[in-house]
Structure 1
Amino acid sequence: MYLTQGLHRAVQQFPQRAVTVEDGRRRDYRTQMDRCARLAGALAGAGLVPGDRVAILALNGAVHWDYFPGLWWGGLVANPVNTRWSLKEMAYSLSDSGARVLLVDDAFLERIPELRRLCPGLQQVIHVGAAPTPAELTAYEPWLAAAEAVPDRRVGGDQLAVILYTGGTTGFPKGVMLSHSNLWSSAVGRLAETEVPSPFVTLMAVPLFHTAGLAKLVTQLIVGGTAVVEAGFRVDTVLADMAAERVTDVILVPSMIQMLIDHPTFADHDLSALEALTYGASPISQALLERAMAALPGARFMQSYGMTEASPVITVNPWWNHRGEALRNGRVRSAGRAGWGLEVRVVDPQGKELPPGTVGEVIARGDNVMLGYWNQPEQTAEVLRDGWLHTGDGGYMDEEGYLYIVDRLKDMIVSGGENVFCAEVENRLARHPAVASCAVIGVPHDQWGESVHAVVVLRPDSEVSEAALCDFCREELAGYKCPRSVEYRDSLPLSGAGKVLKNVLREPHWRGRDRRVS
């Protein structure tokens, strides 16, 4: 189980097949394998050894197909930086992971001087863009061309492959450690669940710093498919590329699906080649799902439920539950059943499995479950107990093992597919001089599923506007974490133990809905 295996297989069987298509530029598998071998050689020449971390701060691009398999070729560990983060969050992930080398594209060049100041452990920054390379950086293409192509180390199994940083309840992101085996087993399990389109031409529109995007890249390499790479989700460009390249496979979050089918030129594009559409990261409304299936009648819709810590899939709701009787009996609203190679249970606070129909915490185990959190043994022990991953999601199972998610036990919001830990936002808000106390909750949002809502108690004789509070948060937090709405109160509802009763704050916003997540 080494993640470069797909490259070797593809070069042996179809070396001229395109591995990536980016802005009309195609790169074949034979060329790609040589670039990966050279990247591993260049990094070894820079003094890196197996196990060292290399980061990338870049929008989706063909360079990621150098970066991920190229690092694995040399036994190195990837640390893709969330491009939506604030400078402080980026610097934390780089310093915490101990990244020695950073690849950066044109979009983030202006951040490099401050990142180098905040991250003294960065020994080299490589510029991978088309703009002129600043004198203090290394230009990627000449550096790569001059490197020696080295043999594949074929590192795999339980060796660390990637550290993906996700939001933290303590105010700092946590580094999720995923091994070669974690990513491989999750990908192969998904492939076993459904029919693989042939040809496999996937649209890569979800960001590659997220587990969903990375999982799709791993899957594509395993099957030897082609990725049509999108730097961002511009609907007009996505529609044009899907039609021109005859895309057969795509993974989208619900907000992307809505933007796609609502675009005024949607009907002008021939998307008849699309065979498989996987949605996830946040639940989808029944109305949007039915509209999407009507708009794309030739596509098999499938839902995946999971989390970064599971590489990412835990359950799968296959395409045959998106039509016929399953639409009428509500099974389409389930998160599906345990994926191949996994066990999933619903348990009480003591870890005892609950009978069907009883709400408890969803737990899972399998080869896809993470190694743990980087340098966070206590948080690892809290989440990984007795071999089981405790998701923090509340749900129940029916008699046939279908899982229904009804609430979030951990204090987290999912907005547009991004995880937002309430404590992280609350910690920032509480530092504003006008704020006496605050609580952050998720409220329903038609496009993003949930949006961040702050309930604020001001200090006596203090005033601060909603816009000012949001700007204050944006100084240190990614934009998607900042409150979209603010509610001012004289006090917060508290339990007898002095804990904020968030269920009381959430109730008016979610009244009349059958579950407390959107």
Structure 2
Amino acid sequence: MFIMQTLRRAVQLNGDGVATIFAGRRRSWRELESRVARLAGGLIGLGVKAGDRVAILSLNSDRYMEYFYGVPWAGAAVNPVNIRLAVPEIAYTLNDSGSTVLFVDDTFAALLPALRPQLEFVRHVIFAGDGEKPEGCLDYESLIEQSAPVEDANVGGDELAGLFYTGGTTGRSKGVMLSHDNLVFNALNVVAEMGYDRDTVYMHAAPMFHLADMASTFAVTLAAGTHCIVPRFDVDAVLQLIQQEKVTNTLLVPTMINLLASSGRIRDFDVSSMKRMLYGASPMPEAVLLSAMEQMPTVSFAQGYGQTEASPIITSLGPEYHVPGGAKLRSAGRAALGVEVAVMDADDREVPRGTVGEICARGANVMLGYWGMEAATAETLRHGWLHTGDLGYMDEQGFVFIVDRAKDMVISGGENIFSVEVEGAIYSHPAVRECAVIGIPDDRWGEAVHAVIVLGEGAEATESEIIDHCREKIAGYKVPRSVEFRTEPLPISGAGKILKNELRSPYWEGNQKQVN
């Protein structure tokens, strides 16, 4: 398979149809293909060769879309950089990958003075913003204007399509190597699961650097639909775009859906065009999901579970199972098309149905490995299975239930306590807007369950009230022993996941291990 097949098909099927909508710019698929061919010519003129890595550090835009196709058209591999990283972390990503060209927009051009002295391989910086070009940068539009189109390099199959760095919250950040086969296979799967077609208007509101959104980047193109883009998630901007452009589909991570559902703004906009909303990338509290379903009754919700190493989808839960009180609503669904899923014990033996173990997967979506990390690759892909690090179980019908990340599980008095379950109980309290549950050191129990909570605007609750509320929902040993209230939003990653490592850090300072 070839990434460029998705673009060529879109041009064949819908050449004059709208490909991208962003900041007042509307371009057809034919125009997009022409610009991509010229962008590839410009990159080759800068010395980019087959297999080279080309990076981007940018908010969402139509030029981000062109980057995703211009780089493989030139035979190179993409390296989309996490927008929430600090300068030293960005430099590590660029240096470790050996990226030779970097695209930046207006927002991240400001980091260049601090970033440039740390870069080992980047030879050219291309400014892909709309403001004034920073000194020492090449201009994106000038590069396209002044470059002749080139023939597609026709790179595909198991050749490297991109490096996608994981968050690095538990050590050295890993560069996940995904092939053309990986990404296009996943796109085919997403088209089938989401029902994308030429009439699809997909909104990119989650960050485009992340595989959760990127799955639809290639899938919507494959279906010859329309990409409608906002720079970053903002409740009013998202609702305004849905109303204005008659958006039909999107992906939002649970933190975004929570902000949307708790905003009180949905009723002020016409969101009737929305057909399906996919969510994933982190656990979805049931109370948040039910609130969103109630406020957007015409929207069909679907869940995708996976990770970067799986391109990313492993399982999916369709709209037919999104029924309040439904037996499968808390599950992550069943194995996606062409993906095999098993729950394994510590010896990599499949456990009986209903038994908690590590979720493992295999299929054409599974990564080539980690860039320059052979030992970590061998450990993660042992015995031919991708070991996700997620704990869960499978029922008799093949539905997978995620109980926690292995690293987020709290072990208190010898009992395994899954933070996701405790968070679900807390989110069902009407005053709670955001919460995260972590384990903190405890002299008696080893670890104690601690909740960090942000209340809704104007809402009130006390520590004892939250604890009593949880006692009605979950077993006593799972109930938080302490509650911390914050007024600022909880820290999140570029992908919208709550950064529990940052919440844990003050409590574990001076400990060599994050367990007690």
Q: TM-score, normalised by structure 1?
A: 0.81
CA shift for structure 1 position 329:
4.5
Identity of aligned residues (%): 43
Counterpart amino acid of residue 182 in structure 2:
N
Q: Distance in 2 between matches of 1:287 and 1:294?
A: 11
Are the equivalent residues in 2 in contact too, given 1:454–1:486 (CA < 8 A)?
Answer: no
> 3-state DSSP class of the match of 1:203?
strand
Indicate the residue corresponding to 2:348 in structure 1: 351
What is the aligned-residue RMSD (CA, Å)?
2.7
Residues 184-218 of structure 1: CA distance to partner in whole angstroms, max 9, x if unpaired?
11121222234336611011001011111211111
Q: Does 1:302 align with 2:302?
A: yes
Q: Of residues 495, 498, 502 in structure 2, which corresponds to 1:483? A: 502
Are the aligned partners of 1:261 and 1:292 in contact in 2 as well (CA < 8 Å)? yes
Amino acid at match of 1:145: E
In structure 2, the partner of 1:76 is: 76
Q: Does 1:67 align with 2:86?
A: no
**Partners in 1 of 2:510 and 2:175 — Cα distance?**
35
Query: How far apart are 1:407 and its partner, in Å?
Result: 2.5
- Counterpart code for 1:358: T
Residue 290 (1) aligns with residue 290 (2): yes
Q: In structure 2, do the counterparts of structure 1 residues 136 and 195 end up closer, same or farther at CA, with 3 Å as the change threshold?
A: closer
- Residues 48-57 or 11-20, more deviating: 11-20
Note closer, same or farther for the CA distance 1:148–1:491 as it changes in structure 2 (3 Å cut).
closer
Classify the secondary structure of the residue corresponding to 1:335.
Answer: coil
In 2, the alpha carbon distance for the partners of 1:283 and 1:125 equals 37
Q: Secondary structure, in 3 states, of the residue corresponding to 2:325? A: helix
Letter in structure 2 aligned against 1:284? M
C-alpha separation between the residues in 1 aligned to 2:99 and 2:498? 25
**How big is each residue's C-alpha offset from its partner over 1:313-362, in whole Å with a ceiling of 9 and x where there is no partner?**
00111110112xxx434211011110000100011111111111111111
Unaligned runs of 5+ in 2: 410-418, 428-432, 444-483
Give the residue type in structure 2 aligned to 1:34.
S
Conserved? CA contact 1:276–1:302, under 8 Å: yes
Distance across 2 between alignment mates of 1:228 and 1:407: 33
Instruction: For residue 234 of structure 1, report the CA deviation from its aligned partner.
Output: 1.2
**Residue matched to 1:372:** 369
Q: Which stretch shows the higher mean deviation, 294-303 or 332-341?
A: 294-303
Q: Does 1:136 align with 2:136?
A: yes
- Residue 480 of structure 1: how far off its partner (Å): 4.6
Q: 1:500 to 1:38 in 2, by over 3 A?
A: closer
Report the 3-state secondary structure (helix = DSSP H, G, I; strand = E; otherwise coil) of the residue aligned with 2:131: coil
* Secondary structure at the counterpart of residue 111 of structure 2: helix
Return 5+ residue gaps in structure 1 as ranges: 414-440, 458-465, 493-497, 503-518
1:231 lines up with 2:237 in the alignment: no
Distance in 2 between the 1:399 and 1:389 partners? 22
- 1:12 matched to 2:31: no
Q: Mark the CA change 1:289 to 1:37 in structure 2 (over 3 Å): closer, same or farther.
A: same
Q: Which moved more, 1:57-66 or 1:10-19?
A: 10-19
Change over 3 Å in CA distance of 1:499–1:261 after alignment to 2:
closer
The superposition leaves residues 90-116 of structure 1 with CA deviations (integer Å, 9 ceiling, x where unpaired) of: 000000000000011111112112222
Partners of 1:373 and 1:379 within 8 A in 2: yes
* Corresponding residue of 1:434: none
Give the match's secondary structure for 1:277: strand
Residues 489 and 260 of structure 1, relative CA distance in 2, 3 Å threshold:
closer
TM-score by length of 2: 0.82
Deviates more, 1:261-270 or 1:288-297: 261-270
The question of 1:390 aligning with 2:387 is answered yes
> Does the 8 Å contact 1:55/1:94 carry over to 2?
yes
Aligned to 1:362: 359
1:406 is matched with 403
Q: Residue 81 and residue 452 in structure 1: after superposition, are their counterparts in 2 closer, same or farther (change >3 A)?
A: farther
SS at match of 2:341: strand
Which has the larger displacement, 191-200 or 346-355? Answer: 191-200
**Aligned equivalents of 2:366 and 2:161: distance in 1?**
13
The structure-2 alpha-carbon separation of the partners of 1:450 and 1:219, relative to structure 1 and needing over 3 Å to count, comes to: farther
Which stretch of structure 1 is more off in the superposition, 258-267 or 72-81?
258-267
The match for 1:166 is 166
